[in-house]
Structure 1
Amino acid sequence: MVLILGRRLNHENSGGAPESPAIKRKVFEMDSKNLNEVYNFSSGSSHAETVLQVFNEFRDSRLFTDVIISVQGREFPCHRAVLSASSSYFRAMFCNDHRESQEMLVEINGIQADAMDTFLQYVYTGRACINTNNVQFLFETSSLFHIVTLRDACAKFLEEQLDPCNCLGIQRFADAHSLKQLASRCRCFALQNFPEVAQHEEFLDLRKDELEEYLGSDELSVGREEFVFEAVMRWVYHNVEYRRPVLKDLLQHVRLPLLHPNYFVQTVEGDQLIQNAPECYQLLHEARRYHVLGNEMMSPRTRPRRSTGFSEVIVVVGGCERVGGFNLPYTECYDPVTGEWKSLAKHPEYTKSEYAVCALRNDILVSVGGYDGQCCLSNVEVYDSFSNRWTEVTPMEEAVYSPAVTSCAGKLFVIGGQPNESTCSNKVQCFDPETDSWQLKACVPFTKPNISAVSLNNLIYVCGGLTKAIYCYDPSHDHWMHVVSTFNKQESCGISVCNGKIYILGGRGENGEASDNILSYDPASGIITGVAAMPRPITYHGCVTIQRFSEKHRKP
């Protein structure tokens, strides 16, 4: 039987035989100039939405479905074409010679039935209901089926749910699925809310390496370092039998020197677990020394966290723009983290030059000496800030002026200098305050004037003397080594340790002109880089690092 669909012919008034089956249609006459015009019609996204809606209705009524997806024993009738159009996972399954391409029932393991239901709702409607109960399983399902938009929506939902009680768990989930942006947001959230985060159960389940990563961060936001110590002890005591051996490793990241002295004595030294941990005694001793000496005793644990409002800054005192030029009265501080310079009170004795600058309990001391205008001096005096008195001690082995001087491992090192205007010394003179005696150590690898030295992590770093290099001295082995080359030959530089790095500021080159360059050397990575310039070229200046409170943290 053949069914022919066509228009009904009107034989009225035909007056004769029917017309030929070839129906003549009248063609509208068009202007020749409009023959090439085209009307491109589009119904927009509504057409695709209507088609998807109809397919979803087909799915609900099992109309035209050609495959059943089975998850946890629950069956989901679907259309292979729709699944393949939405997911490369299903396209590979149904379009290749896989067994599933021929079977009516396909079982998928490793996902939840409810997550599959929500996933199919998204495939057939473009919409999904994401909540705290299904987000993890829906993320894993969309990842399995390569639906990036739904997976990213789940990650965005998790980001919006961050709370002190769940941020650590979400970060672990993000790390496991290589969600770098979500993991970074979780870490920032935990850093910014650390005191609250440390009160929840997830904190107690952190691995040692995860906890150390937080403790060691300068960005850890705490009003007082006491919060950090209490968090560590809470974590250790939660499983004290197994966590007691790592107590020292964790306390190395707690800035014990910055604890209030009363809290340190009563709470830290009074803790029974710490009292029975001899391996921690050195950390306690470091904190005690800092409470007495202040910034004269520096370590990674004496550096304040940014959230306290205090930060380490480098203070540049005096100097001049060129040899024989006018001495400058300026005192300015530089924050290496922000790159900002700030002017401080001018130096009252700026007409003098070649003085020494040091910090004592965050106070800056400026001394003038080494040369009395006629000869070099070998005398040494010790200043006691408690009694505000100077006391003479044993003189140096060799009288020099303009040496590089720094303290390291409880001793004072006088490096190089000039015995007179025509010669330089390469001697290293070491003073032991315990015995009031001097010893000569291994000589500097070069004999140059106008060198600078600084101490970091029980090592001494020396630069300047137009050497285009940084050398390192290890007092424990009495050994010198070349560590890195600088970009230019400089002498009479300022040098200071700030935030665990060595900064070389200004100085003068071979042409005698002062420089405004700043170099940063990171001993941990061995990398030297150029950073922000100084406000002006300068040489023969003093440099020292102190802790300074930022006005931005001051409450209104």
Structure 2
Amino acid sequence: MSENDSVYNELRLEQQLCDAVIRVDGTEFHVHKLILCNCSPYFRALFTHWSTPDSQVFDMPNVSPDMMRLIIDFAYTGFVPVTQENIQELFIVADRFNVMGILEACSHILEEQLAPQNCIGIWWFTDLYYYPKLKHKTFLFILNHFEEVAVTSEEFLLLSAQELSKIIENDQLNVKKEKTVFEAILHWITYAPEQRGEYIPLLLSKVRLALMSPEYMMENVNVNEVVKASEECHRILLKTMDAMLNIRTKRFSNSIFNEPLARPRLPPAVLLAIGGWSGSNPTSRLEAYDVHAERWVRVTDDEEAPRAYHGTAFLNGSVYCVGGYDGVEQFSTVHRFDLNTHTWQEVAPMHSRRCYVSVTVMDGYIYAMGGYDGRDRLETAERYQPRTNQWTLIASMHEQRSDASCTTLQGKVYICGGFNGNECLSSAECYNPETNQWTLIASMGNRRSGVGVMAYADHVFAVGGFNGTSRLCTAEAYNPNNDTWHNVPHMLNSRSHFGIAVIDDRLFVVGGFNGFTTTLDVECYDIKAGEWSDVCDIEISRSALSCCVVYGLDNMDEYAATHYSLQLSDEGDELMKI
């Protein structure tokens, strides 16, 4: 509270210079019209348009004295005590009197309290009391947590058919398998089958049925009694069979996205592949992998400085490109990619030039370690704070490391392998930010330069690389609980200097150098299945690229296959590799 506010509040409490009385059920509040006008357009209209200038007493029906006291206290102090007991009534009163400050305070707390069990109730509440920002965030929460909402929320069963339809037709609905949506519909209908059976055609038409397996369709959808009883559902199933055939024969590969029954939903996150070495030059190519559509999308080619052997990091809604090499010089520069505008902006440079750098994110900082400055392999490390736009040196590593790779796990930074200027390394170490110290851990079973390192399933995975003689397809995993490495299944292809990231509960490796040429090959490891499998290739072969996963974007559709395929279906130009 400012000094002026404190004076005004003292005058109010002493009932001095007050020019109005707000009366609620016999309780009188002496106030200054100007202060309430500043708090709310409702009071401004009340004092200037809905009453005469000489009016002094204003009766307020349908509000309690306690609520009015909170409104007036907020007008003078800018503070309101929002509690679990008063939040709903306070929101309603603030909505009535158009007190945006209180609405924002209540909205913030409601957002923090969002859970699968209460989000639908809060969504309904925002229908009654209009606050678009909260309504939008609540609806997104329902979409992002739909699988849990459908199973655990009692309110889910009370949705209207139109509300359920609005939810399941949305491209942003986050479900791993489309059968989850169908089963949620059945769960909703079973709650009141006689009244709700008639809505099955409406709801079934919103399910991406053509993305289900043929086996599930035959064994669960086609034979369902509610579905079989509807002639309209029969027509939907026939259209589904046509769409499934088109998908599997890859006919009309882009135009299939126009078919609602077959269009993949937007992914909650996408994998970005940035820069790298392609042919005889570095590239600025940025591609996004849509895990739902299983396709790569070209996002941009216009980065200010094409580069390779760099690092990337996603933090606070932006992607940072750190260090690297353009064939002429090693960079200390850092560029930030605005995911909303698709534009790059230079931020504070590092203390050292670093190509072959290792980059990761932890606790709101970007860490950059090791690398090559054009003369020496580096053991130094530093970290970046976006809020202050500053890099700060931290403790140096035990080893000089370029061509290493790093990750974070359980509050520590792990860096593995690399090249010290003389030999490829098998050593590894971890950094504790609380003590600002590096500690050597057990060495890997193989020397690995150009290795890929990533935290996955509570282990640190070290994949591929160059051992001084050949490119590797081997992989191993570190258990921090007992300081040991163990072998895991080999990749399908040998490679070094590739991109690596975890998305959709799988470990992805992208591109790289196989000992003879750069590659556009992509594969992923599923720890549950215990095996590697091929993934759709990136558009151009490249090594020395860097990958990161981005999520929580309001414009996720701009990085998804659906967005670009719908554009291309009109042009007949194939942008994505099928």
Q: TM-score, normalised by structure 1?
A: 0.44
Give the alignment's TM-score, normalised by structure 2.
0.43
Which has the bigger relative contact order, CA under 8 A and spacing at least 6?
A: 2
Structure of larger gyration radius: 1
